[in-house]
């Protein structure tokens, strides 16, 4: 008899694997189809020939610490949600005169004493804003009905996440809450001009906002991308993992270790993954 599944996921990229693992964890019968011979989608560590093994993506988004915890992945969260991102400058900004800037007060002082004095307050706000964004990303939003009506059977449980998000915003304090809401649609330039005077300092921080996008720092919404990328500083491939015996910690061997850990979680929770299986058609039947 043909095996029955409650959920079929097409593609074993990290998103498909996370979804599959959570569903399998809830006791659902899950099957993942992957057309390639390896799982991981774009997050893989692969060899393109002898002795040449590369990560498909460089540091980017961080794997959420709550996913690591929920799925008991043998990976250690790179940081806690509230930990400052300022302790690891992401880059060095090289200047034409041979000088350079890193993102810390000491280095900033060489370009502007005033900016160096304002740096801690900027970091404090950005850490808080990144935390609020992190909370927003993990909030399951209630269903939207055909506006202006609310969806039928909207339960208190469904709206609870939104309530919690509102509470977190309010607990951030009136000043930070308003500044956060204001900053999201702003340009990175406008936001940075509220803090800094040095063009070199502003340009270096603004580059965080436009990393990985085709936007420029004078485009609306780069206030949001600045906070988003601030949240992600550290990146996936820096996530250290537990050593195989579960004791101590070692560096991840490659970014693909993350999707391997996810695939293992799917299987250990009872889910199934079929590689080299391309979905060609989805047949829909009316019930
Ligand atoms: C060029 C490029 C560079 C990027 N660089 C970075 C970076 O440096 N850092 C970063 O954080 N993010 C980066 N990203 C973004 C990141 O890779 C994606 O957001 C992420 O991979 C999306 O994950 P996913 O699981 O949704 O899909 P994918 O990772 O794309 O996985 C989809 C999977 O589905 C499979 N599939 C597709 N169709 C079928 C089918 N019909 N049947 C069976 N299987 C199928 C594919 O083989 C694949 O394994 C980059 C993206 C691109 C395009």
Burial class (CB in 10 A: 0-12, 13-18, 19+), 129: buried
Straight-line distance from the first to the last Cα atom of the chain, in angstroms, rounded to the nearest whole number:
22
36-54 pLDDT, tens digit per residue, is: 999 999 989 888 777 778 8
pLDDT of residue 248: 40
**Residue 110 class from Cβ within 10 Å (0-12 exposed, 13-18 middle, 19+ buried)?**
middle
How many angstroms separate the most distant Cα atoms in the chain? 75
Query: pTM of the predicted model, to two decimals?
Result: 0.74
Task: Give which of 23, 22, 70, 15 is closest to 43, Cα–Cα.
Answer: 15
Just give the CATH number of 7-75+241-274: 3.50.50.60
| pLDDT surpasses 50 at 272 | yes
Ramachandran area for residue 23 (φ above 0: left; ψ -120 to 50: alpha; else beta): alpha
User: Does ligand 1 come within 6 angstroms of the Cβ of 34?
Assistant: yes
Most confident of 72-76, 95-99, 156-160: 95-99
Cα-to-centroid distance, 16 and ligand 1 (Å): 10
Among 215, 157, 214, smallest CA distance to 186 is for 215
Q: Could you tell me if the CB of 56 is within 6 A of ligand 1?
A: no
Any atom of ligand 1 within 6 Å of the Cβ of 60: yes
Label residue 270 by pLDDT band (50, 70, 90): very high
Whether 11 is in the pocket of ligand 1, judged by its Cβ within 6 Å, is yes
- pLDDT over 80 (residue 57): no
Q: Give phi and psi for 204, each to the nearest 5.
A: -65, -45
Asked if pLDDT for residue 235 goes beyond 70, the answer is: no
- List every span in the chain annotated with CATH 3.50.50.60: 7-75+241-274
Position 186 confidence tier, pLDDT thresholds 50, 70, 90: very high
Closest residue to atom 25 of ligand 1, CA basis = 13
Q: How many other CB atoms are there within 10 angstroms of residue 240's CB atom?
A: 13
- Ligand 1 contact via 206 beta carbon (within 6 Å): no
How many angstroms separate the alpha carbon of residue 248 from the centre of ligand 1?
A: 31
Nearest to 64 by CA among 122, 10, 6, 21: 21
Q: Name, in order, each residue with C-beta under 8 angstroms of 285's C-beta and a sequence gap of 6 or more.
A: none
Q: What is the pLDDT of residues 213-222, one digit of tens each?
A: 899 999 999 9
């Amino acid at each position: 008899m043909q095996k029955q599944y409650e959920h079929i996921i097409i593609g074993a990229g990290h998103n498909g694997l996370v979804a599959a693992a959570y569903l399998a964890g809830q006791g659902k019968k899950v099957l993942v189809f992957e057309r390639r011979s390896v799982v991981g989608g774009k997050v893989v560590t692969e060899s393109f020939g002898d002795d040449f093994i590369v990560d498909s993506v460089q540091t980017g988004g961080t794997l959420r610490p709550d996913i690591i915890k929920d799925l008991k992945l043998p990976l250690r969260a790179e940081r806690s949600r509230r930990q400052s991102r300022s302790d690891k400058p992401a880059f060095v900004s090289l200047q034409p005169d041979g000088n350079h800037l890193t993102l810390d007060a000491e280095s900033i002082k060489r370009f502007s004493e005033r900016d160096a004095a304002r740096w801690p307050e900027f970091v404090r706000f950005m850490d808080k804003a990144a935390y609020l964004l992190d909370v927003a990303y993990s909030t399951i939003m209630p269903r939207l009905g055909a506006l202006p009506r609310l969806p039928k059977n909207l339960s208190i449980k469904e709206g609870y996440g939104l309530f919690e998000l509102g509470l977190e915003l309010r607990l951030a304090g009136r000043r930070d809450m308003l500044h956060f809401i204001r900053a999201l649609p702003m340009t990175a330039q406008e936001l940075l001009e509220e803090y800094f005077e040095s063009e070199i300092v502003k340009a270096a921080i603004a580059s965080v906002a436009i990393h990985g996008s085709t936007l420029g720092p004078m485009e609306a919404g780069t206030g949001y991308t600045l906070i988003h990328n601030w949240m992600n500083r550290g990146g996936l491939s820096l996530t250290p993992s537990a050593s195989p015996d579960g004791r101590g910690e070692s560096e991840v061997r490659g970014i693909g270790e993350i999707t391997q850990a996810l695939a293992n979680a799917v299987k250990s929770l009872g889910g199934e993954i079929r590689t080299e299986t391309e979905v060609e058609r989805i047949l829909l039947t009316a019930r």
